[in-house]
């Protein structure tokens, strides 16, 4: 090795040891509880954070079994100067419950005696439930309610296979420093048990450095991606600030190719993104999303889930031009083999319009309701949506965060 090569190497080694947070006398403490990511196919990733530490591993076993397996992971120092641990488990049995324990430098963190996760289900096991909600991480001291949302979800953790977080997850602008204070500290009884898939909202874009991808571990390029779960195909999109999609031409091309490749192989196609297309909430229609409607129609998308408007609204089935498909409706709550797709706003997670830092009263703009019969149901309250797929039936239930009353219910049968 030439001298010119050796010197940079020595420099790199010196920098690497400087970046190591391990100190002999420092007690290892958990700074972020475990959270579950990328629960797809036969694998799942478990991440957590500590103040210090060099290595990590997860012990896991099928519930009821006495045989533990071990998987080592990787550690990295984050942009907030703590240590992130990431362990991915492979070859999981489908549709079952695993128990797990997390270790940093051989020290176990007893977050809960009964840490557990549901392994992803297989194509044949087509009964599962998941939740969806957006607009969450507004600080409690500023009137936000991420704490109430997390508490409301706790009774459902064992019945939910995963969650979709519909953007605007960290207010005001998605700084890494705010992820624990605005979100993770409240979801310590949810995220260790229910995997979540996230997409970016306008408030999650912290430019010029996008912290979002440092906080989550998602499939594909993490901005837009898809995955199969049971008999359903899920597509997450990045609508950036709403006017123009992130990486627009490439994302749209990818979307078409992705949906085309699924064809009729899956019974359900669900798109989730942050901004609304047509809407009768106080938000305008976003042309960037309405512009995707022909693709949704062409490839048979069933459901489009979004946040952004801090309220709950479910629309009747629309076609590729955004027109309500009247013949699809027998009622506004049960759709038999509907043509078109149903679009739902569930931006009712943690920042309700008219409260706290969003004090403007909630007045849907009548000018936005120029489409006859567009709205099937709406409710201006804190709420999250649960969706249950059972073969060729999909049931949606919106649940009020405060008292867990049902604020909307609908069913699609094919
Ligand atoms: Fe938004």
Is residue 197 scored above 90 in pLDDT? yes
Please give the distance, rounded to the nearest whole angstrom, from the Cα atom of residue 120 to the centre of ligand 1.
Answer: 30
Is residue 108 scored above 70 in pLDDT? yes
Is residue 397 scored above 60 in pLDDT? yes
Whether a cis peptide bond, with omega within 30° of 0, leads into 67 is: no
Q: What is residue 6's predicted lDDT score, i.e. its pLDDT? A: 40
109: in domain = yes
Share of the chain above pLDDT 90, in %: 80
- In the listed set 118, 152, 169, which residue is the last one of a domain according to the structure? 118
Please give the distance, rounded to the nearest whole angstrom, from the Cα atom of residue 399 to the centre of ligand 1.
Answer: 21
Lowest mean pLDDT among 11-15, 80-84, 115-119, 372-376: 11-15
303: in domain = yes
Is residue 236 scored above 90 in pLDDT? yes
Tell which wins on pLDDT, 114 or 10.
114
Instruction: Indicate the helix (H) or strand (E) that contains 283.
Output: none
Question: In terms of domains, do 109 and 196 share one?
Answer: no
Provide the pLDDT confidence category of residue 18 given band limits of 50, 70 and 90: very low
21: in domain = no
Is residue 161 scored above 50 in pLDDT? yes
Query: In the predicted model, what is the mean pLDDT of residues 137-155?
Result: 95
Domain count, the chain: 2
Q: What is residue 21's predicted lDDT score, i.e. its pLDDT? A: 54
180: in domain = yes
Quote the tokens at residue 37: 């990511």
Question: In terms of domains, do 44 and 86 share one?
Answer: yes
2: in domain = no
Q: Could you tell me the residue range of the domain that residue 46 belongs to?
A: 30-118
Question: In terms of domains, do 112 and 134 share one?
Answer: no
19: in domain = no
Question: In terms of domains, do 271 and 372 share one?
Answer: yes
CA distance readout (Å), 374 to 312, 325, 400 = 14, 9, 22
Among 312, 314, 315, 310, which Cα is nearest to 325's? 315
396 Cβ neighbours under 8 A, 6+ residues apart: 314, 344, 385, 386, 387, 388, 408, 409, 410, 411
Buried b (16+ CB within 10 A) or exposed e, 319-344: beebbbbeebbeeeeebeebebbbbb
Q: What is the CATH number of the domain that holds 67?
A: 2.60.40.380
Please give the distance, rounded to the nearest whole angstrom, from the Cα atom of residue 297 to the centre of ligand 1.
Answer: 25
Lowest mean pLDDT among 46-50, 207-211, 258-262, 296-300: 207-211
Query: In the predicted model, what is the mean pLDDT of residues 225-241?
Result: 97
Please give the distance, rounded to the nearest whole angstrom, from the Cα atom of residue 76 to the centre of ligand 1.
Answer: 31
Please give the distance, rounded to the nearest whole angstrom, from the Cα atom of residue 202 to the centre of ligand 1.
Answer: 5
Question: In terms of domains, do 205 and 181 share one?
Answer: yes
Question: In terms of domains, do 155 and 48 share one?
Answer: no
Please give the distance, rounded to the nearest whole angstrom, from the Cα atom of residue 274 to the centre of ligand 1.
Answer: 7
Q: What is residue 369's predicted lDDT score, i.e. its pLDDT? A: 76
Quote the tokens at residue 199: 């997409």
| Rounded Cα gap, residues 368 and 372, in angstroms | 11
Among 236, 258, 245, 254, which Cα is nearest to 291's? 245
Question: In terms of domains, do 201 and 336 share one?
Answer: yes
Please give the distance, rounded to the nearest whole angstrom, from the Cα atom of residue 238 to the centre of ligand 1.
Answer: 12
DSSP string, 93-124: PSS-EEEEEEEETTEEE-S-TT-EEEPPP-TT
Lowest mean pLDDT among 48-52, 119-123, 195-199, 353-357: 353-357
Task: List pLDDT tens digits, range 245-282.
Answer: 999 999 999 999 999 999 999 999 999 999 999 999 99
Q: What DSSP state is assigned to residue 180?
A: I
Provide the pLDDT confidence category of residue 123 given band limits of 50, 70 and 90: confident
Please give the distance, rounded to the nearest whole angstrom, from the Cα atom of residue 47 to the centre of ligand 1.
Answer: 26
Lowest mean pLDDT among 74-78, 234-238, 334-338: 334-338
5: in domain = no
151 in Cβ contact with 384 (< 8 Å): no
Residue 184: exposure state from Cβ atoms within 10 A (0-12, 13-18, ≥19): buried
- In the listed set 65, 91, 118, which residue is the last one of a domain according to the structure? 118
Number of H helices, E strands in the chain: 7, 23
Question: In terms of domains, do 320 and 372 share one?
Answer: yes
The whole-chain average pLDDT of the chain stands at: 91
| Rounded Cα gap, residues 34 and 49, in angstroms | 8
Please give the distance, rounded to the nearest whole angstrom, from the Cα atom of residue 312 to the centre of ligand 1.
Answer: 14
Query: In the predicted model, what is the mean pLDDT of residues 58-78?
Result: 97
Q: What is residue 304's predicted lDDT score, i.e. its pLDDT? A: 98
Please give the distance, rounded to the nearest whole angstrom, from the Cα atom of residue 294 to the centre of ligand 1.
Answer: 23
Task: List pLDDT tens digits, range 294-319.
Answer: 999 999 999 999 999 999 999 999 99
Question: In terms of domains, do 199 and 110 share one?
Answer: no
Please give the distance, rounded to the nearest whole angstrom, from the Cα atom of residue 307 to the centre of ligand 1.
Answer: 7
Please give the distance, rounded to the nearest whole angstrom, from the Cα atom of residue 302 to the centre of ligand 1.
Answer: 23
Please give the distance, rounded to the nearest whole angstrom, from the Cα atom of residue 169 to the centre of ligand 1.
Answer: 9
Please give the distance, rounded to the nearest whole angstrom, from the Cα atom of residue 185 to the centre of ligand 1.
Answer: 22
Question: In terms of domains, do 318 and 188 share one?
Answer: yes
Q: What is the CATH number of the domain that holds 384?
A: 3.60.21.10
Q: What is residue 368's predicted lDDT score, i.e. its pLDDT? A: 61
Please give the distance, rounded to the nearest whole angstrom, from the Cα atom of residue 410 to the centre of ligand 1.
Answer: 25
Question: In terms of domains, do 240 and 345 share one?
Answer: yes
Is residue 149 scored above 50 in pLDDT? yes
- In the listed set 118, 151, 172, which residue is the last one of a domain according to the structure? 118
For tokens 């998602």, what's the residue? 218
Please give the distance, rounded to the nearest whole angstrom, from the Cα atom of residue 141 to the centre of ligand 1.
Answer: 20
96 Cβ neighbours under 8 A, 6+ residues apart: 62, 63, 118, 119
Please give the distance, rounded to the nearest whole angstrom, from the Cα atom of residue 287 to the centre of ligand 1.
Answer: 15
Tell which wins on pLDDT, 160 or 24.
160
Please give the distance, rounded to the nearest whole angstrom, from the Cα atom of residue 71 to the centre of ligand 1.
Answer: 38
Share of the chain above pLDDT 70, in %: 92
Please give the distance, rounded to the nearest whole angstrom, from the Cα atom of residue 275 to the centre of ligand 1.
Answer: 7
Provide the pLDDT confidence category of residue 124 given band limits of 50, 70 and 90: confident
Question: In terms of domains, do 140 and 173 share one?
Answer: yes
Please give the distance, rounded to the nearest whole angstrom, from the Cα atom of residue 347 to the centre of ligand 1.
Answer: 8
Q: What is residue 357's predicted lDDT score, i.e. its pLDDT? A: 83
1: in domain = no
């Amino acid at each position: 090795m030439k001298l010119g090569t050796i010197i940079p190497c020595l420099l790199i080694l010196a920098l690497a040891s400087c970046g190591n947070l391990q100190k002999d006398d420092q007690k290892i403490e958990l700074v972020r509880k475990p959270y579950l990511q990328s629960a797809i196919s036969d694998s799942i990733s478990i991440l957590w954070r500590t103040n210090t530490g060099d290595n990590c591993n997860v012990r896991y076993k099928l519930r009821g079994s006495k045989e533990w397996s071990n998987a080592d992971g990787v550690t990295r120092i984050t942009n907030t100067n703590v240590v992130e641990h990431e362990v991915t488990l492979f070859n999981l049995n489908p549709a079952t419950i695993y128990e797990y324990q997390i270790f940093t430098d051989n020290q176990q963190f007893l977050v809960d005696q009964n840490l557990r996760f549901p392994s992803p289900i297989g194509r044949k096991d087509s009964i599962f439930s998941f939740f969806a909600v957006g607009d969450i991480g507004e600080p409690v001291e500023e009137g936000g309610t991420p704490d109430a949302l997390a508490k409301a979800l706790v009774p459902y953790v064992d019945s939910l296979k995963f969650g979709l977080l519909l953007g605007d997850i960290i207010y005001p602008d998605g700084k890494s420093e705010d992820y624990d204070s605005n979100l993770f500290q409240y979801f310590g009884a949810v995220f260790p048990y229910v995997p979540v898939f996230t997409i970016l909202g306008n408030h999650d874009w912290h430019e010029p450095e996008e912290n979002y991808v440092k906080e989550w571990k998602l499939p594909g390029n993490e901005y837009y991606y898809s995955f199969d779960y049971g008999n359903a195909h899920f597509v997450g999109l990045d609508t950036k600030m709403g006017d123009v999609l992130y990486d627009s031409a490439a994302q749209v091309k990818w979307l078409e190719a992705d949906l085309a490749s699924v064809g009729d192989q899956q019974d359900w196609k669900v798109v989730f993104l942050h901004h609304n297309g047509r809407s009768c909430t106080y938000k305008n229609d976003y042309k960037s999303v309405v512009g995707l409607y022909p693709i949704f129609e062409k490839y048979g998308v069933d459901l489009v889930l979004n946040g952004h408007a801090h309220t709950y609204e479910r629309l009747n089935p629309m076609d590729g031009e955004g027109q309500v498909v009247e013949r699809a409706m027998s009622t506004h709550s049960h759709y038999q083999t509907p043509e078109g797709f149903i679009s739902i706003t569930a931006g009712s997670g943690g920042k309700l319009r008219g409260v706290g830092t969003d004090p403007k009263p909630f007045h849907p703009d009548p000018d936005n309701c120029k489409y006859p019969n567009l709205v099937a149901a709406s409710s201006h309250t804190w709420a999250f949506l649960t969706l249950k797929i059972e073969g060729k039936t999909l049931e949606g239930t919106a649940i009020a965060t405060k008292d867990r009353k049902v604020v909307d219910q609908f069913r699609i049968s094919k």
